[in-house]
């Protein structure tokens, strides 16, 4: 099933995959400047938290810090056959999945559970995913009624109604909508409408003329034909060509990823009654009525020119071609919950061809992911009881407040920002709301029906459940307790409209957070993560909202000009990195995440120095506190990619590849240069005048 659109549009995650956010204490007492760290006697009774066995000491830290810290791990680690990349995040996600598997299996073994209870739903959803015998017997049968419904469409007016039906079922459609706080009025919910509709990862995949791209498009058309044949469609070869042609026309209209991350450009409020003036060839009355939102007055259209172009394409495209498109969308979005043959064929293209993954994940792993996806907070309740210590939450609260104070001091010390803008920035910082570990209020799944022998039905009902949750927010007060990632998620995120930073329980483990380790590695690891999410509030897009989450310009003209100059310089730096021959990082697309990394680690370092309270840090494992801090950051980004996956990420991921998140950040920090005595001529050296300092 397609992912919900809300994640990509309203929140900024630490790594790809997303969710959303809540207030915090106002710390106003300014700490005194700290003494610079001195070398002292070696301490051997403390845990440094550094994985020394992962280091490659033949590589000088001054030349390639990422490889110095992680080189031995890179050399000895093979990417598992069922993964397109592997690193610290995936390893921790594997652990989280094992933990959740145990919870599910224990729940599934319970006897005489009440129908409709959480235990029944978890056990039966897992069983329905694992029962491939039933799925293989059913074949295409679970989606046959929907295929027949598509076939029965008689005209474009009925087709416009089906667009809403497809949205309810989480199918890929040329446009979709979700509900969230209005960016310019965060105390009210509103619908956001956005472009969608492609089977390949991005619009550029349809137009690049290099050999690999041309070959990939040919394989995609062949894949569509194969899937249509498996669904019993006799005209599969011709239909696949027509579908590709239509997707290409949709892709022509799409905005670029750089434009799509611009929060000013994508905020365009329309009266629903006047939407026909923008896109006159689509029956909006039919669509909104069937979508259950006919009484709504306004909608935010993220890409108006796209919707205008789509309207014309909608009319020009024959009903038969739209039917072909929606049949493909249905098959493509349900392939992983149908027969083994269909599921495997889907993996052959999206797993092997697109991302270079040799083997599909074991069925149980995908079953656990299914439970996490559909019943995330049901499992999350048990997960936090078993795997999240109260002292971890208390320590995180302390770290967040330390970083808040460090950020406050950093803002006050900025030489490029005026007092008026600083005042607004401090106000926003004071209003940051951290959420740590798990929600205060758990999601109610009582209306969701789950059956042990109806996997496709479970997904269909879950899609409707999720859809209805969305539209039922309209007209209601903002739910400040809502989370957009369950606790067992290894990630973190910032939500600008709520000015919230969120840290699920599962990320609060080594290498990010080690309760047994010395502070230095924790400030470099989870401190960098906390700083990163705070940094999103002050990146090139997050900084467009004030402390109350209102999308407005709170900058003076002079300060904003200087801010753009500095962020533009950072974009140029990352655009120069070339992870694959001839393929560079898109510095504009990754700018927000790169600002988050640079600002976050800079603030985490300041917070670490404050935590020493004027004392010298111990030397552990022959490493000074400063060195352990930076190593704590670098070991978080231990990561390897298959070329196909890396190529895909360079085109679609707003995060720079892990090695560049490690080194690219450090090359701008004079504190790193000092800690390792980096000099001109060293690989990590960047001239002082070329370094970027924003926060």
Tens of pLDDT, residues 277-301:
999 999 999 999 999 999 999 999 9
Instruction: Give a yes or no: residue 88 inside a domain.
Output: no
* CA distance linking residue 122 with residue 124, whole number of Å: 6
How many degrees, rounded to 5, is the angle at CA 10 between CA 8 and CA 15? 50
Is 151 a member of any domain?
A: yes
Distance CA 294, CA 299 (A): 11
Q: DSSP strand E in 429-469: where?
A: 433-437
Backbone φ and ψ for 214, nearest 5 degrees, come out as -60, -45
pLDDT of residue 36: 32
Q: Where are the alpha helices (DSSP H) in 231-318?
A: 236-253, 257-260, 275-278, 284-291, 304-316
Query: How far is 406 from 531, CA to CA, in rounded Å?
Result: 10
Neighbour count for residue 323 (Cβ, 10 Å) = 18
Number of domains in the chain: 1
Beta-carbon-side half-sphere exposure of residue 608 (alpha carbons within 13 Å) = 33
- Region 70-91 average pLDDT: 97
**If we measure between CA atoms, which residue out of 688, 689, 658, 659 comes closest to residue 672?**
688
The pTM of the whole model exceeds 0.85: yes
Residue range(s) defining the domain that contains residue 156: 140-337
pLDDT of 9 reads 46
**CATH value at residue 275:** 1.10.1380.10
CA distance 307 to 313: 10
- Helix axes of 376-387 and 88-108: crossing angle, nearest 10 degrees: 100
Q: Is the pLDDT of residue 25 over 60?
A: no
Q: Which of 35-44, 275-284, 596-605 is the least confident region?
A: 35-44
pLDDT at 17 over 90: no
In a domain, 427, yes or no: no
607 lies in some domain: no
- Mean pLDDT over each residue of the chain, to the nearest integer: 93
pLDDT at 2: 45
Q: Does the N-terminal peptide bond of residue 377 adopt cis geometry, omega within 30 degrees of 0?
A: no
Give 521-577 pLDDT, tens digit per residue: 999 999 999 999 999 999 999 999 999 999 999 999 999 999 999 999 999 999 999
In a domain, 519, yes or no: no
Pairing of strands 12-13, 493-495: antiparallel
Query: Does residue 499 sit within a domain?
Result: no
CB 643 within 8 A of CB 676: no
Degrees, nearest 5: CA angle 83-87-89? 95
User: Residue 641 in contact with residue 80, Cβ under 8 Å?
Assistant: no
Residue 324 has pLDDT above 50, yes or no: yes
18 has pLDDT over 50: no
82 in a structural domain? no
Q: Is the alpha carbon torsion for 621, 625, 627, 629 positive or negative?
A: positive
Q: How far is residue 373 from each of residues 201, 450, 503, measured CA to CA in Å?
A: 21, 14, 18
In angstroms, the CA 129 to CA 111 distance is 20
Mean pLDDT along residues 41-67 = 86
**What's the pLDDT score for residue 82?**
97
**Beta strands at 500-504 and 493-495: parallel, antiparallel or unpaired:** antiparallel
Residue 11 pLDDT: 74
Report the distance separating Cα 564 and Cα 556, nearest Å: 12
* Domain membership flag for residue 490: no
The phi, psi pair for 662, rounded to 5°, reads -70, -60
Phi, psi dihedral angles at 483 (to 5 degrees): -110, 155
């Amino acid at each position: 099933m397609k992912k919900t659109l809300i994640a990509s549009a309203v929140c900024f995650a630490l790594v790809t995959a997303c969710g959303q956010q809540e207030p915090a204490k106002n710390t106003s007492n300014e700490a005194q400047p700290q003494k610079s760290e001195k070398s002292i006697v070696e301490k051997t009774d403390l845990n440094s938290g550094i994985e020394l066995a992962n280091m490659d000491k033949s590589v000088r830290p001054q030349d390639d810090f990422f490889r110095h810290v992680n080189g031995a791990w890179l050399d000895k680690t093979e990417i598992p056959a069922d993964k397109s990349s592997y690193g610290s995040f995936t390893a921790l996600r594997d652990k989280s999945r094992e933990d959740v598997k145990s919870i599910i299996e224990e729940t599934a073994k319970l006897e005489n559970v009440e129908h409709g209870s959480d235990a029944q739903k978890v056990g039966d959803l897992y069983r329905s995913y694992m029962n491939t015998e039933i799925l293989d017997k059913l074949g295409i049968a679970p989606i046959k009624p929907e295929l027949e419904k598509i076939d029965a469409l008689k005209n474009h007016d009925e087709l416009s109604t089906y667009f809403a039906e497809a949205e309810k079922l989480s199918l890929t459609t040329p446009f979709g909508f979700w509900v969230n706080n209005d960016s310019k009025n965060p105390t009210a919910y509103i619908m956001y409408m956005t472009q969608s509709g492609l089977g390949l990862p991005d619009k550029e995949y349809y137009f690049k003329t290099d050999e690999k791209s041309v070959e990939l498009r040919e394989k995609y058309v062949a894949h569509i034909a194969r899937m249509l044949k498996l669904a019993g469609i006799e005209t599969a070869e011709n239909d696949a060509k027509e579908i590709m042609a239509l997707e290409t026309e949709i892709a022509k209209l799409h905005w670029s990823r750089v434009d799509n991350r611009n929060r000013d450009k994508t905020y365009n409020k329309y009266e629903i009654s006047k939407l026909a003036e923008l896109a006159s060839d689509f029956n909006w009355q039919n669509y909104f009525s069937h979508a259950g939102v006919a009484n709504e007055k306004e909608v935010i259209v993220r890409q108006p020119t796209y919707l205008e172009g789509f309207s014309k394409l909608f009319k020009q495209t024959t009903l038969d071609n739209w039917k072909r498109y929606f049949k493909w969308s249905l098959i493509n979005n349900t392939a992983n919950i149908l027969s083994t043959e269909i599921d495997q064929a889907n993996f052959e293209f999206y797993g092997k061809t697109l991302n270079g993954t040799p083997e599909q994940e074991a069925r149980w792993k995908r079953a656990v992911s299914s439970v996490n996806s559909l019943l995330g907070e049901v499992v999350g309740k048990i997960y936090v009881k078993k795997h999240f210590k109260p002292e971890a939450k208390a320590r995180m609260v302390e770290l967040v407040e330390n970083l808040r104070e460090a950020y406050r001091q950093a803002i006050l010390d900025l030489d490029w920002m005026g007092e008026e803008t600083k005042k607004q920035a401090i106000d926003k910082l004071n209003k940051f709301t951290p959420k740590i570990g798990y929600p205060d209020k758990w999601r109610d799944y009582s209306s969701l029906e789950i059956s042990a022998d109806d996997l496709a039905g479970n997904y269909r009902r879950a899609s409707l459940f999720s859809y209805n949750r969305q539209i039922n927010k309209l007209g209601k007060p903002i739910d400040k307790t809502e989370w957009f990632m369950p606790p067992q998620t290894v990630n973190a995120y910032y939500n600008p409209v709520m000015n919230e930073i969120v840290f699920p329980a599962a990320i609060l483990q080594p290498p990010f957070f080690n309760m047994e380790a010395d502070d230095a590695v924790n400030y470099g690891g989870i401190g960098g993560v906390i700083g990163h999410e705070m940094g999103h509030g002050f990146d090139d897009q997050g900084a467009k909202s004030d402390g109350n989450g209102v999308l407005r310009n709170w900058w003076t003209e002079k300060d904003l000009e200087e801010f753009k100059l500095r962020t533009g310089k950072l974009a140029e730096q990352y655009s120069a990195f070339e992870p694959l021959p001839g393929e560079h990082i898109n510095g504009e697309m990754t700018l927000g995440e790169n600002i988050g990394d640079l600002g976050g680690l800079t603030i985490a370092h300041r917070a670490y120095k404050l935590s020493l309270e004027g004392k010298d840090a111990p030397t552990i494992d022959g490493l000074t506190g400063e060195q352990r801090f930076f190593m704590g950051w670098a070991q978080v980004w231990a990561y390897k990619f298959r070329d196909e996956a890396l190529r895909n990420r360079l085109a679609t991921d707003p995060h720079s590849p892990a090695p560049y998140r490690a080194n690219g950040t450090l090359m701008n920090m004079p504190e790193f240069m000092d800690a390792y005595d980096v000099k001109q001529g060293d690989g990590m050296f960047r001239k002082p005048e070329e370094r970027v300092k924003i926060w």
